[in-house]
Structure formats: structure tokens, C-alpha cells
Structure 1
């Protein structure tokens, strides 16, 4: 159970960190973090798109962590499992379209957390 909680919180914190990068970082930091050209990252449309994506990542991170206080028992595990499955699917697509780095940095932690959640829930 402790491993599951730790991994879920780690995934949640990771998505809060991604939110900070997408919403508040300078264009050169965003370009470096997301393998973009700095010219692209400076475009107003790109900045708005990244900020929009950032709010999704932030809310996902917040949901993963706040589940500790809002739910208990089997419901907590079901919510975690659903949210982590969402991360896995989105990171899978991101790995195909953006780069394989997404599989390692986002999908792998979510898969590990999902495995720990399922083991704690079903075990």
C-alpha cells in the first residue's frame, strides 16, 4: 500500500511539474524541456496551446494527489486506476507523436504506479 501511495504521488507531482513548465516557464526552457524550437515556443499561439495543455496536466496531478483525502478503500484504488490508465494512454500517444522520451518519463512511472495500485487493491 505504501509503495502504491508513493508512486501515485510521484506521478501526481510529475504532472504538477509539467504544468509549471507548460504554463510558466520561459520559451527557451520550454523549448529545451519539450524538444521544440525556441522560435516555435515563442509564438503566442504555441504559448496558449502549452498553457492549455499545462492546466490539464496540473489538474491531473492534483487529482492523483488529492484522492488521498477525498476517497478511501476500494473507491480510492478505482479512481487511481482510472486516472493512471488515462496517463498511460495519453503518454502512449505522446510517445508515438512527440518522442520515445515520453514513454520513459511519463508512461513508465504511470505503469509502475498502476501495477502497485492493482497489487495493493487486489492483493
Structure 2
């Protein structure tokens, strides 16, 4: 079960690295194609805000990477729980305040990872 949890953590990590890149470096180019419902004239004025949000996604990715490389098995799981929990909460909040799609892309994979870690802990 731990292997499946680590695979999910890796997937969530890669998603957050992509989100970071999109928000920090491609907000006025590629992001326009991804966030089609966002008014095009707002991309340039919100570039700094998006970059700040991207930085937070980078921190989440860094924490998830950390959870994969920690040598102590107990701490590896605890750090994984913490960062997956942060991602799950962000996904739930995003679904409630912005778009239900955020839950499917961000929240649900994190929750699956948490469930897999819990199963690993209790088996």
C-alpha cells in the first residue's frame, strides 16, 4: 500500500510543479489557454498575484518531495500526511469558492493519497 501512496504523492507533486510553473512563469501565455473562463484582460494585471500563488504550490511540491526522500519511515508518512492534507484542504476550498474542477484535479488525488497512507498505517 505504501508504494501506491508514494505513486499518488509523486503524481500530486508533479501536478503542483506544473501549477507553480503555470502561475509563476506562464501566466500571460499558456495559462490563458488553461483558464479560459478567466477574462483575458485580467491576466496581465494579476501576474504578480498568480506568481505568489504559484510559489505556494511550489512549497507544497517541495514538502511532498521531502516526504518521499525522508529516510525514517514514520516521519516519511507523517510529512506525507501533512502536505497531502494541505493539498486536500486547498482543493476543497477551491471547489467551494472557485470551481468544482479544482476538487477533482487537486483535492481528490490528495485524499486518495491520505487514504492509502492510512491503510498502510493500520495494516
Normalising by structure 2, what TM-score?
0.91
Q: Is the 8 A contact 1:28 1:38 kept in 2?
A: no
Which deviates more from structure 2 when the two are superposed, residues 53-62 or residues 25-34? 25-34
Instruction: Give the alignment of 1:11-26 within 5 angstroms.
Output: 11-26=12-27
Equivalent pair of 1:31/1:41 in contact (CA under 8 Å)? yes
* Matched residue SS, 2:99: coil
Unaligned runs of 5+ in 1: none
Q: TM (normalized to structure 1)?
A: 0.91
Distance 1:72 1:7 in 2: 19
- Post-superposition shift, 1:26? 4.4
Q: Does 1:8 align with 2:9?
A: yes
Q: Which runs of 4+ in 1 moved over 4 A?
A: none
Name the Cα RMSD after superposition: 1.3
Q: CA deviation at 1:22?
A: 0.3
2:63: which partner in 1?
Answer: 63
Tell me, in whole angstroms, the C-alpha distance in 1 between the residues paired with 2:63 and 2:28.
Answer: 27
**Cα drift, residue 32 of structure 1:** 3.0
Q: How many residue pairs get matched?
A: 121
Measured against aligned partners, the alpha-carbon deviations of 1:17-65 in whole angstroms (never above 9, x if no partner) come to 100000011414223323311111121xx10010001011011112101
